[in-house]
Chain A
Amino acid sequence: MSLPTRKVTVTINGKRHGPLDVPEGMMMIDVLHEMLGLTGSRLGCGIGICHACVVIWDRDDKASEEVQTCITGAEFFDGKRIRTIEGIAATNDKGEVTLSTVQPAFLDKFSFQCAYCTPGFVNAATVLLERLKRTPVAKADVEATVAAALEAHICRCTGYVRYYQAVRDVILVTPGLTRDGA
């Protein structure tokens, strides 16, 4: 007797996957890892706390949101568009990689060490930058905004300082993400 499955179709990093026969009740992280070979969204806790597993859900209202794939069933993503860490940088036909805005900032700042949590931080920072593009924040509030956006993400290696500084610095130099005054 085989396990019951559901059909799930999801667009990941611009590429449509599916319909996939996903066992009922399987979490998205398991689909990413075991069915699609996308292991960059990492399992840290499995109960939605550490945020190493988050992907970016590109909503129909043009907003983007972090979603923990370890506690969200694959069926939730049926018909949806998501970005995983593997799709944040752009890769051309020749295999040349162009990093996103956030990624070079993490490199230049030596923001990560083991980097198990880094995909989650990249995605969180990406979502934050996209939010600030729509709703800029006062320069004086940048640090608090960064701290609020990244607070849920656990890192055991770095003590957070260089992650936070990198994101702050990107915000401050990227046009359109901040406004003067309160």
Chain B
Amino acid sequence: MNDVGPRSRLSRRQVLRYGLVAGVAVYVAPLGSRAYAALLDERLLTAAAWNGRSDSLKYRIDATSKVTGGKVFARDIRARDMPHWPQQQAHALILRTTLADRLYAGFDLSVLGPDLKPDRVVTAADLARDELAFPAFYGEDMLLPPGKTPAYLGQAVALLIFHDFARFRFAKEKLQFNDAVMRYGAVTGPLQRDPWGASRFVRVGGRTGYDEDVFSCTKQAPVSPVAYDRHEPVWPKPAPDGDLGAQGMVHAQATDEELSRPPADWLVMTRDYATQSGDTAALEPDNANGWYDSARQEMHLVVPTQSPQEVAEGIATLMARSRIGLKRLFLHPCFTVGYGSKDHSPMPYYGLLAAFYGDGRPVRLANDRFDQFQAGLKRHQFSMRYTIGVDRRTGLLQSFQAGVVANGGGRANCSVALTMVGATSAASIYYFPKTDVAATAFASRALDCGSARGYGALETLAATELMADELAAALGLDSIEFRRRNVLKTGMKNAQGAVPDGTQRAETVLEKAAAHALWTGRAAAKQEYEAAHPGKYYGVGFGCIQRRFGDGAQASFAKVELAPDGRITLSHTGTEIGTGTSSGQAVACARWLGRPADVLEMAVTDWPELPVETSGNPHAMAQDEQDRLAKNPRWVPAFASSSSASNSAYYFTHATQAAARVVFLYGLLPAAVAVWGREVTPEAARWRDGALTVEGLEPLSLARLASHAHARGLVTGATVHVFNRWQWAEADFEIGGAMVRLPVDALSLRQGDANGYRVLDRRAVFFPPTKNNNTMVGYNTCVGTLVEIAVDATSGKVAGLNHHTILECGNMLVPELVSGQMQGCLASGIGLALHEEMPLYEDGPGNGTWNFNRYHLPRGSDVAVWKQTADILPPLSDSEPPKGMAEVVCIPIIAGIVNGIAHAIGHRFRALPVTPERILKVLG
């Protein structure tokens, strides 16, 4: 039953990639991949339907399977769908605490009676005996033992496994919402812990934004706390001749003094803002299905994840450290959706537990929506105090002081990194001569939080945009004019003292917004609307932000191969999370190969074609450490990034196009030259209607060129690894006897019909300097949204009448995907502005009672579905790369709505969401 046997067309060893992690052989076969096709003979990705004449994709490459209800999600999979698994599916559920201020004392399952008893109960004692523990990133107590106070509401205490579905289902019904199940001891109060982390970003600029800074994170360093006192950061004492932190505090102190006793012509405003705890509410709840073959010591797991690399390594390492024997791990990552909640999520590890304790049966662990609210990674709640000084005479911003505090819940997850991103993004599109932003991610009994869409910047940027409007009003300035006066221009330093890459286009976005009819006509429209609709207040608001894409340590692999008949196969580490990454990457091949990839494999985590090594933390590495490690020609700063941080359009595409370019330059072009009988430069050759052309020469089809390349032993495949720390790593390679510098840090080639790849060890490498880590924001996308709303005075409801978004995102790989992402993100922003919230603590989802009846998600009627419009700025040139643009669009609409409410009713809200109840309170 376990042996694939004659049903497979290829042996597993031939088809599945494998790597060795902590002594465990890891095989990864994403469902729908060729590797998995050897087992299942199904294809979930079709060849790209390409309109060669218009160079456009007809529809997503994963479209047909999705629109026909195909089994594309991990949730769709049962044991019967895995032909090499035992066929009887077992099911598991997790028991969770609903209180976190008293000792956990065990649980009572007597409510189940004899008929619904679980077949296996797994507790912390089992994990301790078997030495199973979370990877360090996830902290302690995978299952909480009795005698401890839970770290957070909803903490897992036990896994219950049922061999059949019916008993599982009815047992779950009895246990869910039942306060009698959990037992508690003495009240201890919630755990008191120091923050997960804190940092402070101080900058004093030079004479202008273009001149050298006096002090900044990029030039010197961020300021770290020296200690925590009563769980609050203690910053260094200011000392001009102290270390960098102490020097930074000298400037922070001066900034504070200036704001406290400002020059006479300054307006100084202080405001407090708060954003909500939220749920990403991905419609696919977290799940896993796994089988542990104890005889062969093999673990098989089907998981949805945005970070398959992390899951593969984490599970292998976890098992290697345990007392369990594990020789091989077979991981099947699937199509999924998460908006950040499936990135570095603990769920795959619980799936592992369920499989391991399944007594030889496959076990499915799948949250329902109540479970998902109780256990899925949450959006951090933020509180911000902003103090801004502005010159009344000029309307120019002078100084920005901020305290940013994020509630990181009961497990750290990415809280520190996220809070720092939020802090360093807060200055948004504006130039400030001086900034001092102190950021703290604190620990609490709230549910653990993850990298929810926006990654901290959503919260801080929304607040900045609310304050921009209020400052403009206090100065008597049009709020877009105020923004335009203060916009960060190309070449100016940001709040970290770094110059963001590329042309800054916020000014263009502002100009377009200022000229739009929604803005220019808003006063007259307000009069007219309110006259025609008694009892409703009309308003127009605006928000404009820029946000980084990527996280400062982006890495990926890509392999492009040409078959002799011209079929293109692309393999990539990127994961499809609904955004159309797979379609976009397939299309990305067209730039150098004339058409999209025919065969696509995403979420590939093992690369025997290009073995590299990695070590250290690329976000926190010292320069001398990087220099030392870089001497190893196989060393790279990071292996592969998860699908997150809006990274596919720019970063994944770079890898894809780097590999495709190598195949073009060293395979297709020489093949063409051989046919044409004369040299041509790469710049002179163009793809037109599927053929490579040069003025005056015979057009050559890809199939013909590929056939020649194979016959002549030219390059027919290239595997690259790329790394970006706000600039691309480059390296020199010898190819065909000549040295060439490529924007990759590792490379291997296949020549002709060779079976394998030959690694070309780099002769020199140029990694981005580690001080770029202090930059925090390297690449930006800018977006502005005008919003037209009406407030109903009787109900307090806000109707979204219309909205118009202006976006700059470089060249688009697939315009329909960009437009779709924009529309979806706008809806997310509307939800956060007006609808979505849940209490942080005992009344919140940690008690297991939350669902969509209490957490309102926007519907079609909430998003101006027929009227909304958008203007995507043309790229600056044909060669401008595509920019990450998804989560950025969630943000300005939030401010646009809340600013629009201010225009409508004259009240400025500073906390989200702005619900009807809160509006009615103000309207009195």
Q: Does B58 contact A (CB under 8 A)?
A: yes
Q: Which residue of A lies closest to B80 (CB)?
A: A37
Query: Which segment of A56-64, A133-141, A155-163, A174-182 sits at the interface?
Result: A155-163
Interface 0/1 of A44-68, CB less than 8 Å to B: 1111011010000000000000000
12 other A-B residue contacts (CB within 8 Å) besides A23-B169, A115-B66, A119-B69: A23-B166, A43-B368, A89-B68, A97-B68, A106-B63, A110-B814, A113-B824, A115-B72, A118-B66, A159-B825, A160-B859, A162-B820
**A164–B866 touching, CB < 8 Å:** yes
Query: Which segment of B256-264, B458-466, B671-679, B850-858 sits at the interface?
Result: B850-858
**B67–A112 touching, CB < 8 Å:** yes
- Alpha-carbon distance A26/B283, docked complex (angstroms): 22
Shortest Cβ-Cβ A-B pairs, 8 listed: A40-B69, A114-B578, A85-B69, A159-B823, A114-B337, A115-B66, A159-B827, A110-B816
**B863–A161 touching, CB < 8 Å:** yes
Contact residues in A for B283 (Cβ distance below 8 Å)? 42, 44, 50, 52, 114, 116-117, 154-157
Contact residues in A for B285 (Cβ distance below 8 Å)? 43
**A34-B165 contact, Cβ under 8 Å, with A154-B852, A158-B824:** yes
Q: Does B228 contact A (CB under 8 A)?
A: no
Q: Does B78 contact A (CB under 8 A)?
A: yes
Q: Does B182 contact A (CB under 8 A)?
A: no
- Alpha-carbon distance A159/B857, docked complex (angstroms): 11
Contact residues in A for B68 (Cβ distance below 8 Å)? 40, 85-86, 88-89, 97, 99, 103
- Alpha-carbon distance A88/B857, docked complex (angstroms): 28
- Chain B contacts with A in 318-345, Cβ cutoff 8 A: 335-337, 339
- Alpha-carbon distance A71/B496, docked complex (angstroms): 53
Q: Does B765 contact A (CB under 8 A)?
A: no
**B67–A115 touching, CB < 8 Å:** yes
Q: Give the one of B59, B80, B857, B860 with max A CB within 10 A.
A: B860
Q: Which residue of A lies closest to B367 (CB)?
A: A43
Q: Does B811 contact A (CB under 8 A)?
A: no
- Alpha-carbon distance A156/B370, docked complex (angstroms): 17
**A99–B67 touching, CB < 8 Å:** yes
- Alpha-carbon distance A41/B580, docked complex (angstroms): 22
- In the complex, 21 of the A-B residue pairs with CB atoms within 8 angstroms, ordered by the A residue number, are A3-B166, A3-B167, A37-B80, A40-B70, A42-B73, A47-B853, A50-B852, A52-B283, A86-B68, A86-B69, A107-B60, A115-B62, A116-B282, A116-B284, A118-B69, A156-B283, A157-B337, A157-B578, A159-B820, A159-B823, A159-B827
Contact residues in A for B820 (Cβ distance below 8 Å)? 110-111, 113, 157-159, 161-162
**A46–B370 touching, CB < 8 Å:** yes
Q: Does B75 contact A (CB under 8 A)?
A: yes
Of A39, A50, A155, A157, the residue contacting B76 (CB under 8 A) is A39
Contact residues in A for B60 (Cβ distance below 8 Å)? 107, 110
**A113-B76 contact, Cβ under 8 Å, with A3-B115, A156-B281:** no
Q: Which residue of A lies closest to B583 (CB)?
A: A110
- Alpha-carbon distance A30/B915, docked complex (angstroms): 36
Interface 0/1 of A139-174, CB less than 8 Å to B: 000010001001110111111111010000000000
Q: Which residue of B lies closest to A113 (CB)?
A: B578
Q: Does A127 contact B (CB under 8 A)?
A: no
**B170–A46 touching, CB < 8 Å:** no
Contact residues in B for A79 (Cβ distance below 8 Å)? none
**B580–A113 touching, CB < 8 Å:** yes
Contact residues in B for A28 (Cβ distance below 8 Å)? none
- Alpha-carbon distance A3/B861, docked complex (angstroms): 44
Q: Does B114 contact A (CB under 8 A)?
A: yes
A32 to chain B, nearest CB (A): 11
Q: Does B725 contact A (CB under 8 A)?
A: no
B175 to chain A, nearest CB (A): 15
- Chain B contacts with A in 240-295, Cβ cutoff 8 A: 280-285
Q: Does B603 contact A (CB under 8 A)?
A: no
- Alpha-carbon distance A1/B852, docked complex (angstroms): 36
Of B66, B71, B853, the residue contacting A39 (CB under 8 A) is B71
Q: Which residue of B lies closest to A160 (CB)?
A: B860
**B823–A162 touching, CB < 8 Å:** yes
**B69–A84 touching, CB < 8 Å:** yes
**A42-B75 contact, Cβ under 8 Å, with A118-B67, A147-B860:** yes
**A164–B860 touching, CB < 8 Å:** yes
Q: Does B105 contact A (CB under 8 A)?
A: no
Contact residues in A for B368 (Cβ distance below 8 Å)? 43, 46
A55 to chain B, nearest CB (A): 11
Contact residues in A for B58 (Cβ distance below 8 Å)? 107-108
B85 to chain A, nearest CB (A): 14
Contact residues in A for B868 (Cβ distance below 8 Å)? 161
Q: Does A128 contact B (CB under 8 A)?
A: no
B34 to chain A, nearest CB (A): 19
- Chain B contacts with A in 832-873, Cβ cutoff 8 A: 851-853, 857, 859-861, 863, 865-866, 868
Of B73, B819, B823, B828, the residue contacting A116 (CB under 8 A) is B73
**B865–A161 touching, CB < 8 Å:** yes
Of A42, A118, A160, the residue contacting B823 (CB under 8 A) is A160
Category for how many chain A residues contact B: 35 or more
Q: Does A19 contact B (CB under 8 A)?
A: no
- Alpha-carbon distance A118/B64, docked complex (angstroms): 11
**A147-B865 contact, Cβ under 8 Å, with A26-B169, A156-B283, A158-B820:** yes
Contact residues in A for B99 (Cβ distance below 8 Å)? none
A91 to chain B, nearest CB (A): 9
A131 to chain B, nearest CB (A): 18
- Alpha-carbon distance A1/B167, docked complex (angstroms): 11
B540 to chain A, nearest CB (A): 20
Q: Does A122 contact B (CB under 8 A)?
A: yes
Q: Does B630 contact A (CB under 8 A)?
A: no
Q: Does A25 contact B (CB under 8 A)?
A: yes
Q: Which residue of A lies closest to B339 (CB)?
A: A156
- Chain B contacts with A in 526-573, Cβ cutoff 8 A: none
Contact residues in A for B22 (Cβ distance below 8 Å)? none
- Alpha-carbon distance A30/B863, docked complex (angstroms): 33
**A113–B64 touching, CB < 8 Å:** no
Q: Which residue of B lies closest to A158 (CB)?
A: B824
Contact residues in A for B170 (Cβ distance below 8 Å)? 3, 23, 25
**A115–B578 touching, CB < 8 Å:** yes
- Alpha-carbon distance A117/B284, docked complex (angstroms): 9
Q: Does B826 contact A (CB under 8 A)?
A: yes
**B578–A30 touching, CB < 8 Å:** no
B284 to chain A, nearest CB (A): 5
Q: Does B445 contact A (CB under 8 A)?
A: no
**A47–B852 touching, CB < 8 Å:** yes
Contact residues in A for B826 (Cβ distance below 8 Å)? 159
A181 to chain B, nearest CB (A): 21
Q: Does B369 contact A (CB under 8 A)?
A: yes
Contact residues in B for A159 (Cβ distance below 8 Å)? 820, 822-828, 863, 865
- Alpha-carbon distance A107/B60, docked complex (angstroms): 7
Of B828, B853, B865, the residue contacting A164 (CB under 8 A) is B865
- Chain B contacts with A in 786-837, Cβ cutoff 8 A: 814, 816-817, 819-828
- Alpha-carbon distance A117/B78, docked complex (angstroms): 20
**A151-B860 contact, Cβ under 8 Å, with A37-B80, A157-B337, A159-B827:** yes
**A47-B369 contact, Cβ under 8 Å, with A103-B67, A116-B73:** yes
**A154–B859 touching, CB < 8 Å:** yes
Q: Give the one of B62, B81, B89, B369 with max A CB within 10 A.
A: B369
- Alpha-carbon distance A52/B73, docked complex (angstroms): 14
**A30-B165 contact, Cβ under 8 Å, with A43-B368, A114-B283, A158-B824:** yes
- Chain B contacts with A in 359-397, Cβ cutoff 8 A: 368-370
Contact residues in B for A109 (Cβ distance below 8 Å)? 816
A154 to chain B, nearest CB (A): 5
- Alpha-carbon distance A39/B70, docked complex (angstroms): 8
Q: Does B435 contact A (CB under 8 A)?
A: no
**A49–B59 touching, CB < 8 Å:** no
Contact residues in B for A150 (Cβ distance below 8 Å)? 860
B59 to chain A, nearest CB (A): 4
A27 to chain B, nearest CB (A): 9
Q: Give the one of A38, A46, A147, A159 with max B CB within 10 A.
A: A159
